[in-house]
Chain A
Amino acid sequence: MEPRKDLLDIASLTLEEIEFVLKTAGPFKELFTKSIKKVPPLRGKTVLTLFYEPSTRTRSSFEIAAKRVSADVTNFAVSSSSVVKGESILDTIDTLQAMKCDYVVVRHGAAGVPNMIAKHTKASVLNAGDGFHAHPTQALLDAFTLRETFGSLTGKKILIVGDILHSRVARSVGRICEKLGMQVGVLGPGSLIPKSRPSFMRMFHSFEDALDWKPDTVYLLRVQLERQKDQFFPSLNEYHNVYGLTDERFRRLESEGTWVMHPGPVNRGVELGDAVMNYERTLINQQVENGIAVRMAALYWLKPQTT
């Protein structure tokens, strides 16, 4: 396995690399049950989180992960408007270079910004979500969670429901599931399912048809409320009725033993109803816990060129 500097997307990862991260995350997760959860591999290294988009969960997850591998963590606060004020991303990269960070965790509203930063810095860049493009650590933590739940994933079915068009989670999760041998179904409002989606995404036209396909897990995407404002669907209420996990659909899932996933945070009453949150086959909290282990593994795996 060639050393890799950056984690920018799932598409460019080899199966061997994915397996390495998933395998490494296991022992890290076991630490969480111990009183001392910290191990030393990144001692003396600096991790900087650079979030141009607000996020509490992902940022905290990276921060905890970095601390548990003994790195020093700094949060670099940037407002998205700094670009407008005339500060380019390249200016920010110069600042980062001068600070001699070893790892940079980036989230940005525009696709490709982590790629740009990676090209211009010796530090390892971890993409924590860029525009509609990619969210590779989310995909890795979901793959880890699926492995924990199902063991081998070959031939297993995942149904991704919601805004396939704008979702970086759908892109990255769909891709990793395909790479790991799963069948991937998608369902959502016609206006949010791209015409030119990858061929491995099988499209369903109603929730009922999709459930007839007998997915092993249903992956609900978070609905961005501004999509309704932009007329991609008529109302949140209608979204829930047509594409949400209503009580009726939930009863069917429950009876068939189907698992439920969601990248969080959940819009209750939109993607799913209250009952689902207490369902024993809801993996949402496990996803959060596994996020830390997988991000520890990713930090451990990447090789910055900062020496």
Chain B
Amino acid sequence: MSDEALILRNGQLAQEDAPELLDTDLMIEKGRLKAVGPKLPAVEGVAEIDCTGRIFLPGLFDVHVHLREPGREDKETIATGSEAAINGGVTGIVAMPNCTPAIDSGGMVQSVLDIASREARIPVLTTGCITKGRLGQELANIGGMHARGAVMITDDGDPVGNHQILRRAMEYAREFDLIVASHCEVKELSGVGAMNEGEVSYRLGIPGIPAESEEICISRDIRLAHLTGAHVHIQHVTSGEGMRIIERFKEDGIKVTCEVSPHHLIFNETHIEDYDTHYKMNPPLRTAEDNAILLDGLKRGVFDVIATDHAPHTDFEKQLDFASAPFGITGLETALPSLYQHFIKPGHFGWDLLVKRYAAEPRRLLGLDLVEFKEDAPVNLTLFNPERETHFTEDFMRSKSRNTPFLDKQVQGHVEMVILGDQILLDRISRSS
């Protein structure tokens, strides 16, 4: 947009820890908020947009995203993945290191960040591996990756199977204040499983993954964090019992944080009926009871952050039979509207929770500056229209992949504008009135 000023009129500002939305106008100039408050005076020559009924949100932040570059650019690239984020109102993302080759050295971290700085319109941060090649055997170049800007280490997609190696990694990472992020799973218990083990998996004849596979590993990882003093971050928690384990250790004051994904809140194993691979991810969808426990945990503050585990895969791969198709679904574009439709609109939680868990806490977790709505603060804004539907067609989506259960579905709510600094990254707002 440049240096031109703009007034966004009559929106409602959502803030963490503020249950009520705040009626306000925003005046933007040169990438900063020039004025914030109701009934701002009109300024000669400054364009205005009527935002009546719209919600002003800080740009969202997702700490768990697979960008597939380098190695699987047919699924996603840093450029397309970051555009998908913008399309969903997300203005900062953290890439997982399970690329080909894996991001397990300072050089790889640097190269991802270099591509991001050229090709992404939002900040793209990256994690690095815990072990070389994510093979779980030798420590990766942790200090080197930290020096180049890796914000967490993780072998995401796989746990570190060897307890001793994980212990060493935690002790080593602790000195760099690096968070160790854990994909929790006991591989031997998961075996060839492709969905939650239970009545549904038996009926469908699909090998199951018991919740214990995840829960045992959650317990192990937190205990090792306690032993070593490292900060462990438990990724994509799916089981009620897994969540209770984390909650108990948190009460004991152990440095553990955790995340929940929209799909584990919204969907469960029964959605897999008819072998729809858009409901296949790891860890898997559990039961309706788990949905309820996770939602309750999110409301009570057990989950520090919401993260999507955006995992693009090609149509060809997702059209394989259920057992052979890869794990994972995309999430960046659908997270905000789907959370609105399923939880905010029916009143399960408010906008304050969404802002806290999907914008503020993710930035706090990584020690980044928070988005503020006050005079002179840099602009980082997502404008959401709760009245307008989003139809997740192939044309609408900007990810290279379409492997989402929301494909071709209508969801209530629409991301209409995203502004970051002096750039309008997305603009679908109607100016007719």
For B321, give its contact among A108, A119, A198 (CB under 8 Å). A108
Q: Is the CB of A88 within 8 A of B204?
A: no
A171 at the interface (CB under 8 A from B): yes
Q: Which of A111-132 touch B at CB < 8 Å? A: 111-113, 115-116, 119, 130-132
Q: Is the CB of A133 within 8 A of B205?
A: yes
Q: B203 — which chain A residues lie within 8 A by C-beta?
A: 11, 171, 198
Q: Is the CB of A89 within 8 A of B320?
A: yes
Name the residue of chain A whose CB is nearest to the CB of B274. Answer: A115
Q: A78 — which chain B residues lie within 8 A by C-beta?
A: none
Name the residue of chain A whose CB is nearest to the CB of B197. Answer: A196
Q: B100 — which chain A residues lie within 8 A by C-beta?
A: none
Q: B198 — which chain A residues lie within 8 A by C-beta?
A: 196
Q: A110 — which chain B residues lie within 8 A by C-beta?
A: 321-324
Residue-wise, chain A 187-205 has the 8 Å CB interface mask toward B (1 for contact) of 0000000101110000000
Q: With A and B bound together, what is the CA distance between A113 and B204 in angstroms?
A: 11
Q: Is the CB of A132 within 8 A of B321?
A: no
A222 at the interface (CB under 8 A from B): no
Q: With A and B bound together, what is the CA distance between A197 and B61 in angstroms?
A: 42
**B111 CB, nearest partner CB in chain A, Å:** 29
Q: Which of A54-76 touch B at CB < 8 Å? A: none
Residue-wise, chain B 301-335 has the 8 Å CB interface mask toward A (1 for contact) of 00000000000000010011111100000000000
- A83, A90, A112, A132, most chain B CB atoms within 10 A: A112
B407 at the interface (CB under 8 A from A): no
- A119, A133, A198, most chain B CB atoms within 10 A: A133
A262 at the interface (CB under 8 A from B): no
B176 at the interface (CB under 8 A from A): no
Q: With A and B bound together, what is the CA distance between A90 and B199 in angstroms?
A: 29
Q: With A and B bound together, what is the CA distance between A119 and B322 in angstroms?
A: 14
B396 at the interface (CB under 8 A from A): no
Q: With A and B bound together, what is the CA distance between A168 and B205 in angstroms?
A: 7
A134 at the interface (CB under 8 A from B): yes
Q: B205 — which chain A residues lie within 8 A by C-beta?
A: 111-112, 130-134, 168, 171
Q: Is the CB of A112 within 8 A of B206?
A: yes
Q: Which of B30-66 touch A at CB < 8 Å? A: none
B207 at the interface (CB under 8 A from A): yes
Q: B322 — which chain A residues lie within 8 A by C-beta?
A: 110-112
Q: With A and B bound together, what is the CA distance between A112 and B336 in angstroms?
A: 32
Q: Is the CB of B274 within 8 A of A89?
A: no
**A94 CB, nearest partner CB in chain B, Å:** 12
Q: B197 — which chain A residues lie within 8 A by C-beta?
A: 196
- B206, B207, B275, B324, most chain A CB atoms within 10 A: B275
Q: With A and B bound together, what is the CA distance between A198 and B319 in angstroms?
A: 29
Whether A111 touches B320, Cβ cut-off 8 Å, given contacts A130-B205, A132-B206, is no
Residue-wise, chain B 195-213 has the 8 Å CB interface mask toward A (1 for contact) of 0011101111111000000
Q: With A and B bound together, what is the CA distance between A89 and B275 in angstroms?
A: 14
Could you pull out 5 A-B pairs where Cβ atoms are within 8 angstroms?
A83-B320, A83-B321, A110-B323, A132-B206, A171-B203
Q: Beyond A133-B205, A198-B202: 20 further Cβ-contacts under 8 Å?
A: A11-B203, A83-B324, A88-B320, A110-B323, A110-B324, A111-B323, A112-B205, A112-B206, A115-B275, A116-B275, A119-B274, A130-B205, A131-B323, A133-B206, A171-B202, A196-B197, A196-B198, A196-B202, A197-B202, A198-B203
Chain A residues in contact with chain B, CB under 8 A? 11, 83, 88-90, 108, 110-113, 115-116, 119, 130-134, 168, 171, 194, 196-198
Chain B residues in contact with chain A, CB under 8 A? 197-199, 201-207, 274-275, 316, 319-324
